[in-house]
Amino acid sequence: MSEEQWIRAVEKALKLVQGPFTYLDFSVHKSTKEVMVKVMNRETGEVIREIPPEKHLDLVADLMKMAGILVDKRV
């Protein structure tokens, strides 16, 4: 599958998932580099659901720091 076909398939899937009252907001968690999806209310901008919850990723990042898995990069 080419990159262009992949992008079209993802866009089509997103249109099917998003409803008239909601939209999806994709982001990358800064510390863990995991993709997060937020289901947002179109009218109010309120977060309805987070997958995975940001609090869980924050906890994972803290545990990784304590275990010494994250390494600071010096510029």
* pLDDT tens per residue across span 4-20: 888 788 888 877 777 78
Given the structure tokens 């992008």, which residue do they identify? 7
pLDDT, residue 15, reads 78
The dihedral built from the CA positions of residue 14, 23, 47 and 32, taken in this order, carries a sign that is: positive
What domain range is 35 assigned to?
Answer: 18-67
Complete edge-to-edge strand list for the sheet that includes strand 22-28: 22-28, 35-41, 47-51
Instruction: Name the band, by pLDDT with cuts 50, 70 and 90, for residue 74.
Output: very low
Q: Quick check: is 63 in a domain?
A: yes
Q: Which residues contact 48 (CB under 8 A, 6 or more apart)?
A: 22, 38, 39, 40, 41
Q: Quick check: is 35 in a domain?
A: yes
Number of domains forming the structure of the chain: 1
* pLDDT tens per residue across span 32-47: 889 898 999 999 999 9
Neighbours of 70 (CB within 10 A): 13
Whether the per-residue pLDDT at 73 is higher than 60: the answer is no
pLDDT, residue 55, reads 95
Strand partners, 51: 37
